Structure 1
Amino acid sequence: MKALFGGLLYCFSLLVQVHGTNFRFYGYEPQRISPAIQYTRPVARPELPLGTQAAQNAISATGRQCKSRPLDLVLIIDSSRSVRPGEFEKVKIFISDMIDTLDIGQYATRVAVINYASTVKIEFHLKTYFNKVDMKQAVSRIEPLSTGTMSGLAIRTAMNEAYTEKAGARPPSQNISKVAVIVTDGRPQDKVQEVSAQARASGIEIYAIGVDRADMQSLRLMASTPLDDHVFYVETYGVIEKFTSKFRKTLCGEDICSLGTHGCEHICVSTTDSYYCKCQDGYILNEDKKTCSREVKPVAVVDPCKCESLVQFQRTVQSAIQSLASRHILSTDLY
């Protein structure tokens, strides 16, 4: 998953040039980015409304549609009392901008949002929305919870509730990466080290983004390793908003199925590093895992005349008559 946010490093360096030194992030100085990470500076283009066809064309790489690799992505946002109303609106813009960078869909990236303070609220699950319009409208309706900062409880909720198959997470057999991004501006009021370790051990990759008053040590305890790639810090929520607009291509990866159907008769579904075939409704996948056959459902035979019951009834009556006849013959013989 290093590729998922590796491009952030380059985007941060751009912001240093444009906005000065009003932010920093753990483990790096912008001028010291490893030369092993090579990037191509994007061609300057006028800003276009997100979601339009023109915008989609603008973020295409070398004429080919740029699509994010499939993820089960859970965004965990701090809405404690320290986050002012205007700042929380910027958090929602940040989430909406991130959604715009993704290839959202049932067989692509699924997104859930967890809102937390002293309590935790799952705003929507991974299975709730499979299109950007409805998802972003749901984000716009999120209200802050105020009060405390229970980051550990939020991560536990993500692990135990948001990342279940019942909630829309895909099974391990599909090899879909589970990624959590937590955004906070404070110090957790509960213990995050143990629950974060459990979440990471369960296969969840955690990115921690700290804003303003965020405690850097807590971010390090929550995030996955290497910390240089998973811990980020910005001084204001305003910088986050500008930052997201600079890395629309960061989450772009190779969608294996976009390169061809790979022999799938109906539907090719990309995973993190492979693919699998799926059939349309009413069909089942054959043993070759490529072709599909129409599903034949067993037809229940209804006996309108209830013949089986009638036969049983006749047998019961016949047995009763024979029993009565035997008794009659016996009583006659006695007289």
Structure 2
Amino acid sequence: MMKSFLCLLCCSALLLSDVLATYHHSALDPHMIAAQSYAQTRNNGRPPTKTLNPAKTDSQCRSRPLDLVFIIDSSRSVRPGEFEKVKIFLADMVDTLDVGADATRVAVVNYASTVKIEFLLKHHFNKPDMKKAISRIEPLAAGTMTGLAIKTAVNDAFTEPSGARPRSRKISKVAIIVTDGRPQDQVEEVSAAARATGIEIYAVGVDRADMTSLRQMASIPLEDHVFYVETYGVIEKLTSKFRETLCGLDPCAMGHDCDHICVNSNASYYCKCRNGYILNADKKTCSLKPVKVVEVVPEDPCKCEARLAFQKQTQAAIQQLTAKHILPVFVSDGRRFIINTHFLQRISLK
């Protein structure tokens, strides 16, 4: 009996030691710290995020048009069951988007030591076909050439021949990278070059993903573009986060070329001018509103024009009366005058 009791006590001690070790490891795990820090940074100092009703997502959440390219890691470290989780995540993301030729277009770039474009932006314009194409994707196995995958996406997927809209259309270009490891090539310069072309990059790290590399790839602010999950088993949780992000995009905040004021208009924007300015024909720049000049004719205090008109009328009347030898009497400045027609005739004869 005593021996059994001692054995049970020893096993309990070992179990407690394992639990404490696991807790200590989790508490110091840099990935966990990064994930917690990201969550705190994302939530602190921001207004509460509106909670979306999953049952009404498709009808209420319409993302603005995007050229969206998923870049997914299928290296050897991603086991077959985990890769299936990635494909489910992609299919769920497609369900949340407003997919179509004039809406959001989607492409998928698959990579390991080599890179394979599974389908381009111009290939599928409806959700059923797109999800079927996703279901057929197979892992590529060895290697993690993330930098090569980003470069391929820029050169071959985000191009007009591949289905990307022209720059003049102002359609945002977004890349979402999903990886669980450390890149075997350089990603910092390649990612910077991609961002310089106007591509917005989101980096999703899973399990053993290198957080430094994720930050080097992602757009700023990093707290909005770097995501981390512990396992592929919970990657589907990111669907709701991306739904909030893509549905909450403000076209004005993403960069605009309005001279004065950018106004968010559903999935697009338009420009306005401040008071005293008018919008020019290009609908972007503003010019000072022209001042309407009103010509003010000062009133003649001595009524000169009226006096001249009166004098002309009087002269004409006198001439008529003189011709008829009538002696008129008229009043001027309050005094009475009698015209001597004989005198006027004598003057006219000289």
The answer, yes or no, to whether TM exceeds 0.5 is yes
CA–CA distance in structure 2, aligned partners of residues 177 and 140 of structure 1 = 26
Q: CA deviation at 1:131?
A: 0.2
Q: Post-superposition shift, 1:238?
A: 1.0
- C-alpha distance 92-191 of structure 1, shift in aligned 2 (>3 A): same
Offset at residue 25 of structure 1 (A): 2.5
DSSP-derived class of the 1:115 partner: strand
- Conserved? CA contact 2:42–2:224, under 8 Å: no
> Aligned match of 2:169 in 167, 174, 180?
174
Alignment partners' CA distance in 2, 1:223 and 1:29: 16
Once the 2 structures are TM-superposed, how far is the Cα of residue 248 of structure 1 from its aligned partner?
4.4
Pairing 1:38–2:36 present: no
Give yes or no for the alignment of 1:59 onto 2:57.
Answer: yes
Matched, 1:88 2:83: yes
**Partner of 2:214 in structure 1?**
219
TM-score (norm 2): 0.60
Q: Match of 1:96, as an amino acid?
A: A
* C-alpha distance in 2 between matches for 1:157 and 1:239: 28
Tell me, in whole angstroms, the C-alpha distance in 2 between the residues paired with 1:66 and 1:89: 26
User: What RMSD in Å do the two structures reach over aligned CA positions?
Assistant: 2.9
Structure 2 distance, partners of 1:34, 1:85, is: 37
Which amino acid is the alignment partner of residue 48 of structure 2? Q
CA positional deviation for 1:244:
2.0
Q: Cα 1:181–1:42, aligned 2, differ >3 Å: closer, same or farther?
A: closer
Aligned partners of 2:99 and 2:126 also within 8 Å? yes
Structure 1 position 28 matched with structure 2 position 38: yes
The answer for the alignment partner of 2:188 in structure 1 is 193
Matching of residues 93-242 of structure 1 within 5 Å: 93-242=88-237
Q: CA deviation at 1:246?
A: 6.7
* 1:26 positional shift: 7.2
Q: Matches of 2:212 and 2:244 in 1, distance apart?
A: 29
Query: Deviation of residue 41 (structure 1)?
Result: 3.2
Provide the aligned length of Structure 1 versus Structure 2. 229
Q: Which residue of structure 1 aligns with residue 239 of structure 2?
A: 244
- Structure 1, unpaired ranges of 5+: 1-20, 46-54, 257-269, 276-335
Cα distance in 2 for partners of 1:202, 1:32 equals 26
Deviation at 1:65, TM superposition (A): 3.8
Equivalent pair of 2:61/2:96 in contact (CA under 8 Å): no
What is the CA distance between 1:67 and its match in structure 2?
1.0
Contact 1:23/1:235 (<8 A) preserved:
no
Partner of 1:77 in structure 2? 72
Compute the displacement of 1:226 (Å). 1.1
Aligned to 2:257: none
- Look up the match of 1:14: none
Q: Matched residues in 2 for 1:86 and 1:109: separation?
A: 29
Give the Å deviation of 1:232. 1.1
**Mapped contact 1:72–1:170 kept (Cα < 8 A):** yes
**Normalization by structure 1: what TM-score?**
0.62
Which residue identity lines up with residue 100 of structure 2 in the other structure? Answer: G
In the TM superposition, 1:292-307 aligns within 5 A as none
Residue pair 1:175, 1:271 contacting (<8 A) in 2 also: no
Change (3 A) 1:42 1:75: closer
Alignment CA distance shift 1:272-1:175 (3 Å): farther
Structure 1 residues 205 and 32: CA distance shift in structure 2, 3 A: closer
Q: Which has the higher helix share?
A: 2
Q: Name the CA distance, whole Å, in 2 between partners of 1:100 and 1:181.
A: 16
Q: Determine what percentage of the aligned residue pairs are the same residue.
A: 69
CA distance 1:23–1:133, change in 2 (3 Å): farther
Asked whether the 8 Å contact 1:27–1:227 carries over to 2, the reply is: no
> Aligned equivalents of 1:162 and 1:127: distance in 2?
10
Q: Which 5+ residue runs of structure 2 have no aligned equivalent?
A: 1-30, 252-264, 271-350
Cα deviation digits, residues 131-190 of structure 1 (max 9, x gap): 000000000000000000000000000111101100000000000000000000000000
* Bigger Cα Rg: 2
